[in-house]
Each structure stands twice: as structure tokens, then as C-alpha cells.
Structure 1
Amino acid sequence: MMPSAAVPSASTSYSTSHSLPVMRRWRSYFQSARRVPAVSRASGSPNPPGPDGEPPKTPINALEATIRRKQRELETTIRELGMEALDERLQSATQMPLNPPYRLSTLIAESVPQGRAVLVFEVARSGSETTTADLAELAKAYVTQGGASALVVRTDSEATPSGLRDLFTVQQAVPRVPVLARDWLIHPLQICEVKESGAAGALGIINQVTGRGTGVMSSFSAALGLDAPVEVVNAREVEQLAKLGVVFYAINVAVGLSVSMPGFSNRIAHGLLGELPFGAISLVGVRSLEEAAAARRSGADALLVKAELLQSYGKDVQALGNALQYAVTLDD
């Protein structure tokens, strides 16, 4: 569990005076990265856990296909924008960081010492008939009836035809609540777009996808005042990222820790939470009340309540909120 003073700081993890060299290194990396980085996670594989309780390493064809699609989309965008204009856009973004910055991590820092659970609800379309206006109403209900402390909006093209417009609309509906984008983030340009939309941060930096670019993505996000948890799946990643100054970690968000073994994801999440460096912030994704309770008992600072759990309650948001509060309330 994090101490109350632990909030990401651009001064400690990113120096704007070094922003251009950092972005040039990233540009070189992205230009040369024509292959999808090796991706592994715990999936539906029957393989047993690896050493030290780590998830079994299995190739994720669906994830690889998604990242390739995102790379193609970004390559097209960057080609149209031009590298000089890209550098200028990234550089200018650091000159006007969000104010106030780090809204989610600040909320966590204020809530955790008081023993209050920070619940982050995922706002997602339930079908093709769902409109942007529907998402705005859903967001209001999650906050006023469900007890959500923050929201996450899916912006990937496979999740919504409206992209960042959904994100902007939800922010307008609940202006007092931190709203984050959820996408597959592999380039700083995407971070710029999230910041320009007015969001408080973004989910979607996955260490097993971005590899050696993870530190750049994390520090660039911090320079813009954005909360951008880095998703990890084993203790080795945590150790490496801690050396790079990463302070906000995500577990079981996009790269699921689920295999056909009861309680497996709970055990892995518990182990990873115990490996986080002192002062780190944690966000754990949950699909059930049981997972929510287990993550809270293991010391998770915040819970991402995924759309699968939210939609299972239909329109009875009040019942959902009551059930979640009961599940995550720790006994004295």
C-alpha cells in the first residue's frame, strides 16, 4: 500500500530539458520497430505457472494482431504528419502540462490513508446500438449511484466508432471526476492526443508490448501531468521498471492473468502487489466481486472495475455500488 505522499512527479521521472533527446530516441525506436515485440502473458493455456509463481509464457495471437493494427494506424498518421511536425507536437505538449496534474494518483494518495477504496469504473459500449450520449448517462450513474471515484473510457477503434469523442463527452458529463482513456499505447503521439482531449490519464502502456520504450512512454506521460500506469505481469518487470523511475503500476488490466485454475489471477496479483517498490501506486483490474475483495485484501490502492462486471448488473447501478462497497470494505 502506498504512503500518502506518493504521487508521480515530472521532476523526478522526466526532465523537460532532456525531452527532445528522449523523443528522438523513441522516434528511432519506433521507426526500426517493424515487428511486434515479443508478447507473453497468462492466458487460457493449461500450462502451469512459471518459476516464482509467474504466469506461464504463451504467445498471444489476438494481442499481437491488435498491436500490429495499431502500428499500421500510427505509421499512416505519422507519415501524413511528418517527422518534423511530430517532433514539434511532442515538444510543445511538454510546455503546457495538465493543470491540475496527476488527478487519479492524487485522489488515491488522499483516499488510501483513510482506508477508502478507490473504484475506477470502465465505461464501455455494450453493443453497436450504444451511443456517445448513452455513455455520458452511464458515466453519471456510475458516479452518483455506483460510487465510482474515477472512470476509464475505451477509445480504441475496435471498441467504439467515435474514438476520443466518447472520452471528451464523458469528461463533460462528470467534470469533477478523473477520466482516463483506455487504448493500446505504443507511441508518445497517442499520449499527446489523450492530453489534448483533456483526459486525466491513460491506460494501455504494457511493458511486454512496448519493451525498451516503456520508460519513455511513462516519463513522457508524467511530463504532461498524466497518470499512465504501466501494466506488468511478473516481478522481473517490476524490478526493471522501478530502476527507470516508474511509480504507477497496473495489474490484470489488458494483459489478463487468467488461466483455467481457480484463484490463479488472485494469487498472481497478490504476489505482484507484494513486489512493488515502497511508495508505488497500484491499479488492479477485476471482473468479479471475489476478485475485487481479494485485490483489496492484498493491498491494491485502486481497482479497475471492468465492463464485464458492470454490465452483469444491467441498469441496477445502485445494487452494483452496494455490492462493491461491501466487497472492498476491510475489517478493522
Structure 2
Amino acid sequence: MASDVPPTSLERSVRLAQKRLGSELSRLGEAGVDERIASASRTPPPRASFVSAVERRTFGGQCAIVAEVSAGSPSAPAWHAVEAAEQCVEGGADAIALRTDLESNADGLLQLQLVCRAMEARNIPVLQLDWIMHPLQVAQAKEAGAAGVQIVASVLGDGTPATHDAILQLGMEPIVEVINQKDLDIAEKCNARLFGVHLSVALALPNAEARNLATKGLLQSLPFGALSWIGVASMDEARKAIAYGADALLLKRDMLVLGSQSVTEILQEVRYLASGDD
């Protein structure tokens, strides 16, 4: 799930995820899959909650900050992702997100497990970003220690409610990513609480202004009581998302590692914007 996957490459990304999932299902067999899911259901849910982290900020009139981390490169050791997560939390991040799809991360589940273990001591929720299509993937995320997983309505379609329910049944928090009104309608059918925009699927619009207007329109269309999580790749996008009423921001990895500012400086600047004092 490379950041901002354009619509033209979405199908390719999903096919790759389906192939990986199919191999895992075949390896485990039906009985093995059922046992894995049942075992995960018996595991206590993570102590840290993403909803609680967001609500702590929104109750104070602020916006929660989620930092996307990774080991840095396909050849980098998995523990580099832990170092990145710790740096972001020390800089003020309220939660951590990690992409585990093959395009982004060859050893994603290992990195997820290591990051979750490190963040558990800090009571920081960790969120998995991947192409979730089966309860087995949710079980794997819970085993690793993730507080929540993102599902993409445009990928799952009418299967979104069932996947959403499977996540809840395993004691985790589902975030439903939407890109249009059709997706919103699907998400509302499953009484989704957490909505994501621009997390993994780019809005298929010709320019930044059109994308900003679409993001604003989606936020304004969310049901009462819903929480919104918006992906941003620049300070300008962060400023606009906050102005539109985002409850939480996903600071994408490129925003954190590219440019002259340190991760701490970027997080502090976004925190100032998110405080409502700008």
C-alpha cells in the first residue's frame, strides 16, 4: 500500500494483496485459519485505544496527530521502525501507523509486532494500514498488537460491513476509508465510527484544489458523532484538513523524512496548527 496509491494502480495493489492472502490461506488450510481467528478472539484487546486518543484531543478543541513510520528502506532492519516510532512519540504524536503491504514493507507484520510492543509501554495505539480483505488479516494484526486496522470501502464494496463487524468482534477498532458518497453510504450501513480520507487511496481529481474541495465535502457529509482521520503529505494539507474540521491527521512518511526540518520540528509545527491557536 504505497502512500497515495493512484486509482490507476489500485487494482494492481489489490491483486498483489489478494495473491499474498491466497498463499497464506492455502498454507494454513481452512481448519488452521479458523483456529488462528479463534485464538485471536481469545486474546485481550490492546490497552491503548485510537478512539480514546482522538477524543482526548477533540474534547480539548484540538486535532490528534498520527505519524506514519517504517524501517526506512526494504533492506533496513525491522527495529529501525521502532526507533522511528519512538522518535515520533517523543515529538508529540498521539498514535503510530504502519503500512504492512508488500509494496511498502517486505516484513510488515514483524515490524508491526515490534512497534506495538514498544508502544504498549507508552500506552500509544498503533494502527495497521494494509489491504484488509479477510478476518485472518485482522487476526494477524491483533496478534501483533495493533489497536485498529483500516479498511477501504472502494475495495471491499458490499463486503465492507462484514469486514467491519469482524474487526469489532476481535476487539479492535476499524477505520473505514472513503473516497466518495457511495463509500459513505456503505460505511454508514455498518454504523462506522471512524472514517478515513486520503489514507491510502488518492482522490481521483485533476488538481489540489479539487481534491481539497472533495475532502471538505466528505468531512461535511459524515454522520453525526463520527470521527475523521485525514491523510496529509505537507504542512499546507495539514492546515487545510484542520480548517475543514478533521479530528485526526495522518502525517505521511514522506512528510516526516523529506525536507530540512527534523521529525520533532515537523510534529511541533503540526501540533501548533492542531491546537487551534493558528
User: TM-score, normalising length from structure 1?
Assistant: 0.76
Distance 2:235 2:111 in 1: 27
- Residue 188 of structure 1 deviates from its aligned partner by 1.1
Instruction: Determine the structure 2 residue equivalent to 1:79.
Output: 26
- Residue 314 of structure 1 deviates from its aligned partner by 5.8
* Structure 1: tracts of 5 or more residues without a match: 1-40, 44-59
- Of residues 188-197 and 242-251 in structure 1, the stretch that sits farther from structure 2 once superposed is 242-251
Give 1:178's match in structure 2, choosing from 125, 145, 150.
Answer: 125
RMSD: 2.2
Deviations 1:85-124 (A, max 9, x none): 3234334433444153x70011112220111221000002
Give 1:127's match in structure 2, choosing from 70, 73, 95.
Answer: 73
Letter in 2 for 1:151: I
How do 1:86-235 residues align onto structure 2 when only pairs under 5 Å count? Answer: 86-100=33-47, 103-145=49-91, 147-175=92-120, 176=122, 177-203=124-150, 205-235=151-181
Letter in 1 for 2:87: A
* 1:267 counterpart = 2:232: no
Deviations 1:43-68 (A, max 9, x none): 5xxxxxxxxxxxxxxxx342111111
CA shift in 2, pair 1:199/1:216, >3 Å: same
- Residue 159 of structure 1 deviates from its aligned partner by 1.7
Distance 2:37 2:84 in 1: 33
Distance 2:229 2:133 in 1: 20
How do 1:58-69 residues align onto structure 2 when only pairs under 5 Å count? Answer: 60-69=7-16
Distance 2:173 2:260 in 1: 29
Question: Is contact 2:72–2:81 with CA below 8 Å preserved after alignment?
Answer: no
SS at match of 2:23: helix
Distance 1:263 1:170 in 2: 36
Question: Is contact 1:313–1:320 with CA below 8 Å preserved after alignment?
Answer: no
Letter in 2 for 1:192: A
CA shift in 2, pair 1:67/1:96, >3 Å: same
User: TM-score, normalising length from structure 2?
Assistant: 0.90
- Of residues 300-309 and 166-175 in structure 1, the stretch that sits farther from structure 2 once superposed is 166-175
Letter in 1 for 2:149: A
Instruction: Determine the structure 1 residue equivalent to 2:256.
Output: 310
Instruction: Determine the structure 2 residue equivalent to 1:30.
Output: none
Question: Is contact 1:93–1:224 with CA below 8 Å preserved after alignment?
Answer: yes
Question: Is contact 1:111–1:118 with CA below 8 Å preserved after alignment?
Answer: yes
- Residue 239 of structure 1 deviates from its aligned partner by 2.5
Distance 1:200 1:68 in 2: 26
Question: Is contact 1:150–1:179 with CA below 8 Å preserved after alignment?
Answer: yes
Question: Is contact 1:258–1:264 with CA below 8 Å preserved after alignment?
Answer: no
Letter in 2 for 1:170: V
Give the percent of matched residue pairs that are identical in Structure 1 and Structure 2.
33
Letter in 2 for 1:62: S
Distance 1:141 1:320 in 2: 12
Distance 1:262 1:158 in 2: 25
SS at match of 1:245: coil
* Structure 2: tracts of 5 or more residues without a match: none
CA shift in 2, pair 1:129/1:269, >3 Å: same
Letter in 2 for 1:137: E
Question: Is contact 1:253–1:304 with CA below 8 Å preserved after alignment?
Answer: yes
CA shift in 2, pair 1:128/1:99, >3 Å: closer
Distance 2:182 2:132 in 1: 21
